[in-house]
Amino acid sequence: MLEAQDCSQHDYLEVQPTPSAIDEGAILRQHLKLVKRIVNQLRPHASATVGLDDMEQLGLLGLLEAARRYGEMDENFPYFASRRIRGAILDELRRRDWRPRQLRQQAHDLTNKVKLLTKKLSRQPSEQEILQELGLTSNEYHRLLYVSQAEELQSLEQLFEQGSEQFHLEPSDSAVQHLIDQDLLKYALGRLPDREQLILSLYYLKELSLKEIAMVVGLTEARICQLHKQALTHLQTMIKSQL
């Protein structure tokens, strides 16, 4: 009897289903648009060392990592996956920071000097006034603007990462974190000037380029870049006060 019982138990154990591996191909196909959208939002960070294609590959790896950690797929998975996708891209960007220290310092100096010129004129200076005051060519000015903008965007991403750590969220709580992020953004965005709200909406929701936004708003691309950076700075300040 004991032998029969042992055999029966052994057979029972053998036929138990094992957890199936995730269908990585299906997950990649289903959420490829999510990865592309996040890469598009982070495109100011693209460089010669980490291009858009590289960022997309990093995002896909982040997506698969999210799927392995999350377990059974449900409607909240995209919220969790978006964090892992951004994290995978930003981690590599930080590891391979393409902005030389001198260039970053020049970008900071540009920001400070434009603030001083704005105070001096009691209005926002034109691009030509900035070039004349600082002795820069148009190409040099635009390069520093984009470096400065990329740093502001990265700082904003880091703030959201800090928010996630503060709430000690598990993967199953991703929907809660999504709501927290949404509430923070609504709070901050609602306090931005209308024009800054419009630029962020066109850039992140409509996914227009700075050049396209300039055509819509009727300003120069350089001015749109300034306003975008300014809006990110304002967002960063307001969100930081809530974390």
Return the pLDDT at 167: 38
Q: For 32-44, what is the mean pLDDT?
A: 85
Return the pLDDT at 21: 56
Is residue 161's pLDDT more than 60? no
Highest mean pLDDT pick, 24-38, 93-107, 210-224: 24-38
Annotate the chain with three-state secondary structure.
CHHHHHHHHHHHHHHCCCCCCCCHHHHHHHHHHHHHHHHHHCHHHCCCCCCHHHHHHHHHHHHHHHHHHHCCCCCCHHHHHHHHHHHHHHHHHHHCCCCCHHHHHHHHHHHHHHHHHHHHHCCCCCHHHHHHHHCCCHHHHHHHHHHHHHHHHHHHHHHHHHHHHHCCCCHHHHHHHHHHHHHHHHHHHCCCCHHHHHHHHHHHHCCCCHHHHHHHHCCCHHHHHHHHHHHHHHHHHHHHHHC
Within 10 A of 19 (CB to CB), how many other CB atoms are there? 7
Return the pLDDT at 153: 62
Within 10 A of 160 (CB to CB), how many other CB atoms are there? 19
pLDDT > 90: percent of the chain: 10
**Max intra-chain CA distance, the chain:** 98
Q: Which residue has the higher pLDDT, 157 or 231?
A: 231
Q: How far apart are CA 242 and CA 189, in angstroms?
A: 13
Q: Which band of pLDDT confidence, cut at 50, 70 and 90, is reported for residue 178?
A: very low
Q: For 121-139, what is the mean pLDDT?
A: 86
Q: Which band of pLDDT confidence, cut at 50, 70 and 90, is reported for residue 159?
A: low
Q: Which band of pLDDT confidence, cut at 50, 70 and 90, is reported for residue 177?
A: very low
Cα dist from 175 to 44, 106, 108, 159, whole Å: 27, 40, 37, 18
Q: Are the CB atoms for 159 and 239 separated by under 8 Å? A: yes
Domains of the chain by residue range? 22-98, 100-243
Summarised one tens digit per residue, pLDDT across range 46-105 is 776 788 899 999 999 999 999 988 878 888 888 888 888 988 888 887 777 656 667 677
Query: What CATH number should be reported for the domain whose range is 100-243?
Result: 1.20.140.160
* Topology (CATH level 3) of domain 22-98: Rna Polymerase Sigma Factor; Chain: A (1.10.1740)
